[in-house]
């Protein structure tokens, strides 16, 4: 199983990369899947600029084809997502909207952060994941600013976050495995 840890923000001085690095570091101790860090900032995606709907799978732009090849290569995902204005970050939503079939029949888990731990972002992501034919797992890691970050907004995860992350990994891998016949069919 190949699981991507998606860095879900492109904002300068973002916390998403630091949190995603922590998730990736924790994942390296596992032997039941290969984890890779995928930073959407590395893809330099503009606002969705494909002339045809993504559900048609007829991508014209090179940046879309490159992004599609990356997403297609994974069996499951862990989104590291901030909460912006009670919802999802625009850059990650845009990256998801570029594609369709590449997301289908894959599992997804969430590590979120923000003033309320990013829980409202995850609620919105679950609706989006359903439309993309993804299996979102029940477990999640939520990291409130007041308990998992210092006053200077430096990430300082607590032990319970690491424990919750293991459950997210277990569920994402289990669902990715269960969905494999659909991806291969």
Q: What is the DSSP letter of 87?
A: B
pLDDT band at 42 (very low <50, low <70, confident <90, very high): very high
Which domain, by its residues, includes 98? 2-184
Single out the residue of 31, 23, 41, 21 nearest to residue 1, CA to CA.
31
What contacts 172, CB < 8 A, 6 or more positions away? 3, 76, 77, 78, 107, 108, 109, 137
In this structure, are residues 103 and 95 in contact, taking their beta carbons and an 8 Å threshold?
Answer: no
Q: What are phi and psi of 2, to 5 degrees?
A: -115, 120
Q: CATH number for the domain including 35?
A: 3.40.50.360
Segment 110-151, tens digit of pLDDT: 999 999 999 999 999 999 999 999 999 999 999 999 999 998
pLDDT at 153 (0 to 100): 85
* pLDDT number for residue 8: 97
Cβ-based neighbour number of residue 108 at 10 Å: 26
Based on the structure, what is the number of domains in the chain? 1
Average pLDDT, the chain: 97
Judge contact between 184 and 178, C-beta under 8 A. no
Measured CA to CA, the distance from residue 153 to residue 146 in angstroms comes to 9
What confidence tens digit (pLDDT) does each residue in 65-99 have? 999 999 999 999 999 999 999 999 999 999 999 99
In this prediction, residue 152 carries a pLDDT of 85
Q: How confident is the model at residue 26 (pLDDT cuts 50, 70, 90)?
A: very high
């Amino acid at each position: 199983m190949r699981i991507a840890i998606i860095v879900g923000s492109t904002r300068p001085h973002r916390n998403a990369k630091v949190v995603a690095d922590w998730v990736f570091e924790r994942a390296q101790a596992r032997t039941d899947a290969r984890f890779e860090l995928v930073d959407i900032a590395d893809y330099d995606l503009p606002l969705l600029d494909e002339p045809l709907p993504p559900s048609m799978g007829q991508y014209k732009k090179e940046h879309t084809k490159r992004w599609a090849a990356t997403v297609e290569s994974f069996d499951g995902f862990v989104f590291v997502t901030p909460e912006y204005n009670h919802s999802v970050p625009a850059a990650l939503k845009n990256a998801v909207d570029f594609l369709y079939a590449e997301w289908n029949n894959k599992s997804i888990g969430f590590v979120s952060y923000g003033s309320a731990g990013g829980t409202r972002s995850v609620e919105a992501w679950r609706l989006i994941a359903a439309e993309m034919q993804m299996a979102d797992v029940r477990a999640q890691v939520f990291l409130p600013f007041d308990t998992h970050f210092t006053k200077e907004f430096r990430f300082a995860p607590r032990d319970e976050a690491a424990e919750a992350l293991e459950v997210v990994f277990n569920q994402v891998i289990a669902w990715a495995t269960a969905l494999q016949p659909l991806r291969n069919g």
